[in-house]
């Protein structure tokens, strides 16, 4: 073991007078001074003892200052963080934020957010479906007409249909050839029974219907629409005007047909709910009471009244 150098400890105190250690006595001017000399062997032992104590103390100090590494306790490694105290600023801020959104306000906010997300999703789905299917409205037109009767009488054919103050009654029996076209490539159309009403100058003069049918992709169907009006009471102004037109073989008559029908759309194996559509057609005919009347002009419009997907 290497020894460190330490300062020499102070000399021991003088031994008692009866010690056997040698001493030197001097006399000067009538006084005697005794100088005791330390024992060399005892002095060496004292130095060695002091060195040993110093080494032990130094070694103990080193071990105390630099202890050997110890393994980290498991409770420290896996220790779960303790919750923050209630008076912590972050806890107070979070509590205030929760208090701002409470009860009905939070429910309303969540409902609005959910509704907005649902609207966006449905909008995207509708846009994708529109781009893929490219739907188009059906096209209707009147190509021809066959008139069985179209005349005015002063009395109704059935007495039960007589109306007080009315002097003119119309009896009409007309069959129209209606062309229905489905221009869609991927969409089929189911039509429920189609009820049609015929008007002249805003007054109803006949009714008819078309049976339910299905129209496939890119299909054109010719339909026969039989319209009948019996003992229709005409107002004096409209009745007199129609009578004047029927007496002139070169005159024309403008009729208006209107229908509100229910349709369902078929895409692949999927069938939609019932939707409502209105079809209005203006038909100009030559004098219907003359021989071989014909359709001169026609204009049909298709309007969506109600759409139901499911």
DSSP string, 212-252: -EEE-TTEEEEEEEEEEEEEEE--HHHHHHHHHHHH-TT-E
Q: How far is CA 154 from the centre of its chain?
A: 66
Residue 32's contacts (CB-CB under 8 Å, 6 or more residues apart) are 25, 26
Between 221 and 89, where is the model more confident? 221
Q: What is the 8-class DSSP label of residue 160?
A: G
The answer to whether 309 and 130 are in contact (CB under 8 A) is no
With contact defined as beta carbons under 8 Å apart, do 60 and 34 qualify?
no
Averaged pLDDT of the chain: 81
* pLDDT average, residue stretch 121-149: 89
d(CA 179, CA 163): 37
pLDDT at 251: 93
Q: Average of pLDDT values for 85-112?
A: 72
**263-296 residue pLDDT tens:** 999 998 889 999 999 999 999 999 999 988 999 9
- Between CA 51 and CA 117 the distance in angstroms is 87
Nearest Cα to Cα of residue 257 among 178, 146, 169: 178
pLDDT, position 100: 54
Q: Which backbone phi and psi does 216 adopt, to 5 degrees? A: -80, -170
Which of residues 80 and 303 earns the better pLDDT score? Answer: 303
DSSP structural state of residue 284: E
Task: Give 52's pLDDT tier (boundaries 50, 70, 90).
Answer: confident
Lowest mean pLDDT among 6-10, 194-198, 254-258: 6-10
According to the model, what pLDDT value does residue 88 have? 77
Distance of CA 120 to the CA centre of its chain: 4
- Contact (Cβ atoms closer than 8 angstroms) between residue 295 and residue 143: yes
User: 283 with 257: CB under 8 angstroms?
Assistant: yes
Mean pLDDT of all residues in 79-92:
72
Q: Is the pLDDT of residue 59 over 70?
A: no
Strands, E, within the chain: which ranges?
23-28, 31-36, 139-153, 169-182, 188-191, 194-200, 203-210, 213-215, 219-233, 252-267, 270-271, 275-286, 295-306
Q: What is the distance, to the nearest Å, from the Cα of residue 133 to the centroid of all Cα atoms in its chain? A: 22
- The answer, as to whether pTM is greater than 0.75, is no
How many C-beta atoms surround the C-beta of residue 201 within 10 A? 16
How high is the pLDDT of residue 28? 42
If you search the block for the tokens 């005892």, which residue do you land on?
42
Instruction: Name 295's Cβ contacts closer than 8 Å, sequence gap at least 6.
Output: 142, 143, 144, 145, 176, 283, 284, 285
């Amino acid at each position: 073991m290497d020894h460190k150098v330490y300062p020499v400890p102070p000399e021991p105190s003088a031994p008692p007078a009866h010690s056997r250690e040698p001493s030197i006595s001097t006399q000067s001017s009538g006084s005697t001074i005794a100088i005791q000399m330390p024992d060399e062997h005892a002095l060496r032992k004292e130095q060695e003892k002091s060195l040993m104590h110093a080494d032990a103390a130094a070694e103990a100090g080193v071990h105390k200052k630099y202890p050997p590494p110890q393994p980290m306790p498991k409770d420290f490694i896996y220790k779960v963080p303790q919750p923050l105290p209630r008076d912590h600023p972050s806890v107070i801020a979070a509590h205030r934020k929760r208090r701002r959104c409470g009860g009905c306000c939070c429910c309303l906010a969540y409902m609005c957010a959910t509704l907005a997300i649902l609207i966006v999703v449905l909008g995207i789905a509708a846009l994708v479906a529109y781009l893929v299917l490219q739907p188009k409205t059906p096209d209707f037109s009147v190509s021809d007409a066959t008139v069985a009767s179209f005349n005015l009488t002063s009395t109704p054919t059935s007495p039960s249909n007589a109306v007080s103050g009315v002097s003119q009654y119309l009896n009409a029996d007309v069959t129209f050839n209606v062309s229905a076209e489905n221009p869609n490539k991927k969409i089929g159309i189911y039509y429920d029974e189609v009820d049609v009403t015929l008007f002249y100058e805003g007054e109803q003069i006949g009714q008819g219907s078309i049976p339910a049918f299905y129209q496939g992709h890119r299909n054109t169907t010719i339909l026969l629409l039989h319209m009948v009006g019996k003992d229709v009471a005409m107002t004096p102004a409209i009745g007199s005007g129609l009578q004047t037109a029927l007496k002139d073989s070169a005159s024309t008559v403008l009729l208006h047909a209107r229908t509100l029908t229910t349709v369902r759309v078929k895409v692949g194996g999927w069938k939609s709910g019932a939707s409502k559509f209105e079809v209005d057609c203006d038909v100009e005919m030559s004098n219907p009471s003359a021989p071989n009347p014909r359709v001169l002009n026609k204009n049909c419009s298709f309007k969506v009244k109600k759409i139901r997907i499911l």
